[in-house]
Amino acid sequence: MASGFFAILDDIGALMDDIAVTSKLATKKTAGILGDDLAVNAEKATGFLSSREIPVLWAITKGSFINKLIILPVVFLLNFFFPVAIKILLVIGGVYLAYEGVEKIIEFLFHRKKTSGEVIEESTLEEEEVNSEKSKISSAIKTDFILSLEIVIIALGTVIEKEHPLIEQIIVVTIVAFLATVGVYGIVALIVRMDDAGFFLMKKSGNKGFFSSLGQFLVKALPIVIKILGVVGTIALLLVSGEIFLHNIDYVHHLLPENILSKFGLGIVFGLGAVLAMTIFKKIVDLVKPAKK
């Protein structure tokens, strides 16, 4: 009886060791996309009023957890019954990421808001801020869904290669998925609170000495970090989307070499196509609307 009990404990211990090793391997395989995920989501979670940064980040984090809860069972079921659907979902997600990346570039080049000479009422400004916040949260959660889908699929591919039993596959992929959310948004939280940490150091040091200088550096560095994250996040969107197209569209995979230029170029091309298609669609909708009245 006792020997049977200890045998079960040994089996559990071996299973946990196997899960730990495989989780580490799967995390390494997803490291690249996690870096892109961090850049994209850090850019999306910044640029709000200081008092709204943590609530906005928490809203995005909750959305990310919900994304994982949706993605994990769907991916396992699709992988078992209809594996090709995963590729289709990834390509559709890649188009969305490319669209977002190219739209940001077009917005920066041609549609930057002019503030000189404009008079904006306070109530209108507050309403626009609320709408902008909701829009950014929604956009961040949608982008997180696609990035999370790729993370889950890469992790699943790793455990399938190692021919692990189904229960180990589920546990490992789930661990990687949720560690990704905690890790990415934990780092984002540190980034968006850089200025608060700087002010705290300045106050505690009485604006004197090393800690005061460090605090001033953190406060001055935050706007620069946000701008850099904006650029890096846009590039990451295009690279991730390009990688999705390169790996999941056979014609493209055989046509182009696998390098950064190919991925970036594919992101731009598909993104421009998506922006053009969306622009035409909006024009058609605008033309049809008056006819309905």
The parent domain of residue 74 ranges over 2-292
Query: Which residue, among 145, 139, 136, has the nearest Cα to 64 in the 3D structure?
Result: 145
- Tally of domains within the chain: 1
Q: How many helices (H) and strands (E) does the chain have?
A: 10, 0
For residue 220, the number of C-alpha atoms closer than 13 Å in the C-beta half-sphere is 7
* pLDDT at residue 37 in the model: 64
Query: Which residue, among 86, 96, 179, has the nearest Cα to 142 in the 3D structure?
Result: 96
* pLDDT at residue 117 in the model: 44
Query: Which residue in this structure is represented by tokens 């400004």?
Result: 125
- What does the pLDDT average to over 107-117? 65
Tokens standing for 12?
Answer: 């559990």
Residue 109 banded pLDDT, cuts 50, 70, 90: confident
- What does the pLDDT average to over 211-232? 82
Range of weakest confidence among 21-25, 117-121, 171-175, 196-200: 117-121
Tokens standing for 30?
Answer: 């997803």
Q: How many Cβ atoms from other residues are within 10 Å of residue 79's Cβ?
A: 17
Pick the residue with more confidence: 45 or 231? Answer: 231
* pLDDT at residue 266 in the model: 93
* pLDDT at residue 40 in the model: 66
Residue 264 has pLDDT above 90, yes or no: yes
Query: Which residue, among 165, 179, 218, 208, has the nearest Cα to 11 in the 3D structure?
Result: 165
Pick the residue with more confidence: 275 or 36? Answer: 275
Residue 209 banded pLDDT, cuts 50, 70, 90: confident
Alpha carbon distance, N-terminus to C-terminus of the chain: 80
Residue 151 has pLDDT above 60, yes or no: yes
Residue 5 has pLDDT above 50, yes or no: no
Residue 284 has pLDDT above 50, yes or no: yes
Tokens standing for 103?
Answer: 């739209």
Residue 8 banded pLDDT, cuts 50, 70, 90: very low
* pLDDT at residue 273 in the model: 94
Mean of per-residue pLDDT scores for the chain:
76
Question: How far is residue 92 from each of residues 144, 145, 165, measured CA to CA in Å?
Answer: 14, 12, 30
